[in-house]
Amino acid sequence: MRMFQVCVCGQPLQCNEGPTPEPKGSEILLKVLAAGVCHSDLHLADGWFDLGGGKKMSLADRGMKLPVTLGHENVGKVVAVGPDAKGVKVGSVLLADPWIGCGQCEVCKRGEENLCRAMKSAGVFSNGGYADYLIVPHPRYLFEIGDLPPERAAPLACSGITTFSALRKVPTIASEPTVIIGAGGLGLMALGLHKRMGGHSAIVVDIDPVKREAAMKAGAAHVVDGAAADAAAQIMKLTKDGAGAWAVIDLVGSGKSARVGFDSLIKGGKYIIVGLYGGDITVSLPPIAMRALTIQGSYLGSIPEMAELMELVRKTGLPDVPVTTRPLDDVNKAHAELRAGKVVGRVVLTPA
Ligand SMILES: [Zn+2]
Ligand SMILES: [Zn+2]
């Protein structure tokens, strides 16, 4: 089988060939039908995240061992099951939740494997779906996709669950506009799910006019240029009485986007950071207390949340995120385009 792997950080992925693995114990072998290309794959290929102030967080220090096959948004067809993989039928087409914890700790036992301190995530710490085949360690990570096309369902495994979990942290989703910073693949997914979760209006912020237009087409109530000097004031003006936003979901996570997001909150408002672009901001402490502000991180989503998300999309349909499919061999080209900011929506590789 072919595997596109990070062998040296900062270098293009290498296509390596190896034997197709056989599932043991509770494992399941999937033939990969669709593997989404996520922005965080660029950080994984680089080997570090920007912490701001010249500091970097090395992924090697966090347990990433090379070579590793990237690809964490996967849908595949079951081709073989281990003797203890109960309830999984050969031939079924399933989404693989890549956010795999140790399975033993208290956090994992309550289903929040995304918060485990010893994660083994597929496409990060273990081999992912930029390959012909993928091993999934246990049936609990597999979800029915119903009639959804594999290439459109695959992004639910990261882009979908990440935005869904962030939106679940917005108590005012049905009553007040939600601000969404970033209108790339993640932003359009968030916008689509926001509506399906009862959101009535969304203010979308992006520095790119093409992406702002895509957001308007996808149903944003308003768009704001995040690069404008008065971006925070513009956002506030769009809220009730110009008082500010009850919830901002920052899918970019840069110093600049955080500044805009944090500065547009109302008293009691919540700034939820999701994006991993990198950087830092300085905030005055007394107003956080006096204005009862919340700064909350949101990282991926739990297994119960994945089940909830799959039920929601099977009932209400998938968010209309533009998807472009490409052969597996194009992965490095797809990465280059994503790095250059040229991708609207999602690129999904189709190895089969
Ligand atoms: Zn991702
Ligand atoms: Zn654990």
- pLDDT tens per residue across span 212-262: 999 999 999 999 999 999 999 999 999 999 999 999 999 999 999 999 999
Residue 60 has pLDDT above 90, yes or no: no
Residue 343 has pLDDT above 90, yes or no: no
pTM beyond 0.85, yes or no: yes
Report how far residue 333's alpha carbon sits from residue 352's, in angstroms, rounded to the nearest whole number. Answer: 18
> Mean of the pLDDT values across residues 326-342?
94
Q: Residue 39 Cα, ligand 1 centroid: separation in angstroms?
A: 6
Q: Residue 113 Cα, ligand 2 centroid: separation in angstroms?
A: 6
Q: Residue 261 Cα, ligand 1 centroid: separation in angstroms?
A: 22
Q: Residue 43 Cα, ligand 1 centroid: separation in angstroms?
A: 10
End-to-end Cα spacing for the chain = 11
CB contact at 8 A, 13 and 130: yes
Ligand closest to the CA atom of residue 157: 1
Query: DSSP labels for 12-70?
Result: PPEEEE-PPP---TT-EEEEEEEEEE-THHHHHHHTEEEEETTEEEETTTTT--SSEE-
State residue 81 phi and psi, 5-degree precision. -130, 145
pLDDT digits (tens, 9 = 90+) for 25-45: 999 999 999 999 998 899 999
Q: Residue 72 Cα, ligand 1 centroid: separation in angstroms?
A: 6
Q: Residue 37 Cα, ligand 1 centroid: separation in angstroms?
A: 8
Q: Give the DSSP H or E segment for 235.
A: helix 231-237
Q: Residue 162 Cα, ligand 1 centroid: separation in angstroms?
A: 8
> Mean of the pLDDT values across residues 127-142?
98
pLDDT digits (tens, 9 = 90+) for 72-96: 999 999 999 999 999 999 999 999 9
Q: Which two tokens stand for residue 270?
A: 């919540």
